[in-house]
């Protein structure tokens, strides 16, 4: 029963009773019994109307509550994916009806004719209409046997001001496929993030700000372009090498240059071909005189060399019959600055060639013998002689301090972390004045290198005393060696620098799509650096405080969505945000407990705790992998998920979007 019909019935009752009482007042001829009898009907109508109206008001209030409960439950079940796929599952109606029925049972308060219908509005709200008939008691005597009660309701899922930071694993394994999927993991991730963005944008209320940020991570993170100049050091010391020149004797060095064709010619032809000889691969082990082992080292004193199967040409080439004649045309001398100093002599000569020479070339599994026949082939050239030193070069492998003030144009933007120290357990009390890498809000101080970040220069990093990725071990002390030690930059996965991170900003569909398509899987899995920088870019009280604070008069909800497809998988031969870890030893040293992977996981857990202290909701998603206890504890119950394939990943992001929304009665 709506308010208009209720007021109409009350007015009718009042008019009827008032008319009877007025006639009685002016009628002086009656007696007391007549007066009482005459007043009984109006009094019954007045009292009965009040009773019936009370029942109708109670039914209306309960019906409104049931209607609200039904559409709220249905809208929550619908979620936000309807914005992108337009699908309304049958279960949505079932859930809405069930909640309506639970809150207003058929026949409640003696009512009859209960109905409840729902519909989907253009703004994806769910509206409802409910109706019951309330039978009358006393009022039935006066011809009104029932009163109709009608209510309307509507529920919407919307988003208030919201900041979302995606911390995304872009390691090499993201380029693989989960069982049953046709898409690689990175392709599936691109699709769900774009859909997630569409859901939030399609459901947000007018004048609402939703911002998005991204931190791709693997071995490190690419955040250099986000940093102010004063936040980065002007010089830094790297595990590198410097060349050493050893003195020796002076001798004459000769080279031939400036060849010019004069006349004559030659003819090439294939003389012969025959099957190449197959040589199987082999593995040899030799002593390594340069190995150096510390206490507890797991290295050894040998180096292993492996050759692959190959084909070779073993037959000798035919004998050459080449005849050449040389004439000196001119000679000049000039001072040579060196080093070493001396005289540079240039002899301009002419050469005439006749006869034939041969050579053999391998083509697949066939050896081809070629011949070139010369016919008065004439060339002029310069024979240049100058003093040269027999000195040899070597390398001193050691820490080298470099001027890095031009890092913006010289590097890709990946950075080394600021000062830290070894932490052995998540239960340890962390000294954030020393562990500045885990202090996500601390602003660097200009001129204080311990508080500043350092640009990464992969090309200058050398793992001294380590011959290759698996042979012998590292040496912390400087060492001289005349050949190359292990160079991480020769293996791109060991120095992988992800796509540049993005600060929080409102983004349209095209911007999100372009960014997601730019992600490129490469490198090993270091979860801690991703969580650290996700927190830094999202924190309302840190280095981007002025940009991340709440808007005037509004409250911003903050969410960090952390997605990975694997457990921590570091390599101590990688060049990371903590340098070359076995040599730099900023957060870890070569030790059995904790190992490097355990160290990284603990620091991930500590960083996650710091993020949540900023009133940030953390969601952790394992894609094609299981969640370990540290990740579950980081997210907390109801905030971590395991998605085995792309379909489950899409459903997971739908759940997160729905949980982030604010469900409310809109009318």
Cis preceding-peptide flag for 19 (omega within 30 of 0): no
- What pLDDT is attached to residue 139? 56
Paired tokens of 503: 């600060």
Domain map of the chain by residue range? 3-158, 162-235+407-665, 248-276+313-390
Q: State the sign of the Cα–Cα–Cα–Cα dihedral 417, 423, 424, 430.
A: negative
- What are the tens digits of pLDDT across the range 428-472? 899 999 999 999 999 999 999 999 999 999 999 999 999 887 767
Kind plus residue range of the DSSP H or E element containing 84: helix 82-85
- What pLDDT is attached to residue 462? 97
- What pLDDT is attached to residue 491? 93
Model pTM score: 0.67
CA-atom Rg of the chain in angstroms: 42
**Closest C-alpha among 637, 654, 653 to residue 166:** 653
CATH architecture of 162-235+407-665: 3-Layer(aba) Sandwich (3.40)
Residue 535, helix vs strand vs coil: helix
- What pLDDT is attached to residue 340? 85
**Closest C-alpha among 191, 118, 122, 199 to residue 164:** 199
Crossing angle, helix 596-612 and helix 527-538, to 10 degrees? 20
- What are the tens digits of pLDDT across the range 59-90? 888 888 888 889 888 888 887 667 666 777 88
pLDDT band with cut points at 50, 70 and 90 for residue 230: very high
**Closest C-alpha among 214, 204, 195 to residue 162:** 204
- What are the tens digits of pLDDT across the range 51-64? 667 778 888 888 88
Q: State the sign of the Cα–Cα–Cα–Cα dihedral 299, 300, 303, 307.
A: negative
Terminal CA-to-CA distance of the chain, rounded, Å? Answer: 17
Q: CA 247 → CA 64, 338, 387, 388, 648, distances in Å?
A: 98, 14, 14, 12, 68
CB 572 within 8 Å of CB 396:
no
User: Regarding predicted confidence, which is higher, 424 or 3?
Assistant: 424
- What pLDDT is attached to residue 3? 47
CB 551 within 8 Å of CB 161:
yes
Paired tokens of 640: 């971590």
Which class for 482: exposed (0-12), middle (13-18), buried (19 or more C-beta within 10 A)? Answer: exposed
- Residue 229 CA to residue 219 CA, distance in Å, equals 24
Task: Please say if the pLDDT value at position 289 is more than 50.
Answer: no
Kind plus residue range of the DSSP H or E element containing 538: helix 527-538
């Amino acid at each position: 029963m709506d308010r208009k019909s209720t007021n109409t019935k009350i007015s009718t009752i009042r008019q009827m009773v008032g008319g009877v009482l007025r006639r009685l007042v002016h009628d002086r001829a009656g007696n007391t019994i007549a007066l009482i009898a005459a007043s009984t009907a109006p009094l019954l109508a007045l009292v009965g109307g009040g009773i019936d109206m009370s029942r109708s008001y109670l039914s209306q209030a309960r019906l409104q509550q049931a209607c609200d409960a039904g559409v709220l439950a249905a809208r929550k079940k619908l979620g936000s994916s309807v914005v992108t796929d337009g699908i309304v599952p049958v279960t949505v109606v079932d859930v809405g009806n069930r909640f309506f029925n639970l809150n207003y049972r058929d026949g409640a308060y003696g009512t009859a004719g209960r109905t409840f219908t729902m519909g989907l509005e253009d703004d994806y709200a769910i509206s409802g209409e409910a109706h019951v008939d309330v039978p009358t008691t006393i009022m039935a005597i006066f011809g009104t046997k029932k009163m109709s009660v009608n209510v309307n309701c509507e529920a919407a899922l919307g988003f208030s001001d919201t900041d979302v930071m995606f911390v995304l694993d872009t390691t090499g394994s993201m380029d693989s496929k989960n069982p049953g999927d046709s898409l690689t993991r990175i392709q599936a991730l691109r699709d769900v993030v774009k859909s997630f963005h569409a859901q939030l944008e399609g459901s947000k209320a007018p004048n609402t700000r939703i911002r998005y940020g991204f931190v791709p991570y693997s071995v490190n993170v690419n955040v250099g372009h986000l940093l102010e100049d004063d936040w980065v050091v002007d010089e830094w010391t790297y595990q590198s090498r410097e060349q050493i020149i050893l003195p020796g004797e002076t001798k004459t060095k000769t080279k031939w240059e400036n060849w010019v064709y004069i006349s004559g010619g030659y003819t090439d032809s294939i003389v012969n071909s025959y099957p190449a000889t197959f040589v199987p691969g082999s593995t040899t082990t030799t002593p390594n005189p340069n190995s150096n082992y510390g206490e507890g080292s797991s290295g050894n004193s040998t180096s292993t060399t492996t050759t692959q199967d190959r084909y070779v040409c073993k037959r000798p080439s035919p004998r050459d019959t080449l005849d050449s004649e040389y004439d000196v045309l001119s000679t000049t001398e000039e001072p040579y600055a060196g080093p070493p100093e001396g005289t540079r002599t240039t002899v301009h000569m002419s050469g005439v060639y006749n006869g034939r020479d041969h050579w053999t070339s391998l083509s697949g599994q066939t050896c081809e013998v070629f011949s070139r026949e010369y016919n008065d082939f004439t060339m002029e050239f310069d024979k240049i002689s100058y003093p040269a030193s027999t000195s040899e070069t070597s390398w001193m492998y050691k820490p080298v301090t470099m001027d890095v003030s031009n890092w913006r144009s010289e590097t890709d933007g990946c950075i080394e972390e600021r000062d830290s120290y070894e932490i052995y357990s998540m239960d340890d009390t962390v000294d954030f004045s020393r562990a500045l890498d885990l202090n996500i809000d601390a602003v660097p101080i200009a001129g204080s290198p311990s508080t500043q970040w350092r640009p990464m220069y992969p090309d200058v990093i050398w793992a001294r005393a380590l011959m290759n990725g698996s042979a012998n071990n590292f040496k912390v002390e400087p060492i001289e060696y005349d050949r190359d030690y292990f160079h991480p930059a020769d293996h791109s996965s060991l120095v992988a620098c992800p796509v540049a991170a993005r600060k929080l900003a409102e983004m349209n569909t095209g911007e999100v799509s372009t960014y997601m398509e730019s992600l490129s899987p490469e490198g090993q899995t270091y979860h801690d650096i991703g969580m650290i920088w996700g927190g830094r870019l999202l924190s309302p009280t840190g280095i981007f405080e002025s940009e991340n604070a709440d808007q005037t008069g509004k409250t911003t909800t903050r969410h960090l969505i952390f997605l990975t497809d694997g457990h921590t998988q570091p390599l101590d031969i990688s060049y990371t945000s903590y340098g070359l870890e076995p040599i730099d030893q900023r957060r870890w040293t070569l030790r059995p407990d904790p190992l490097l992977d355990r160290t990284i996981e603990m620091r991930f857990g500590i960083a996650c705790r710091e993020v949540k202290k900023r009133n940030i909701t953390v969601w952790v998603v394992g894609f094609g992998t299981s969640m370990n206890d540290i990740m579950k504890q980081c997210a907390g119950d109801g905030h971590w998920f395991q998605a085995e394939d792309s379909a489950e990943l899409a459903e997971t992001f739908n759940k997160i979007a729905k949980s982030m929304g604010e469900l409310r009665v809109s009318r």
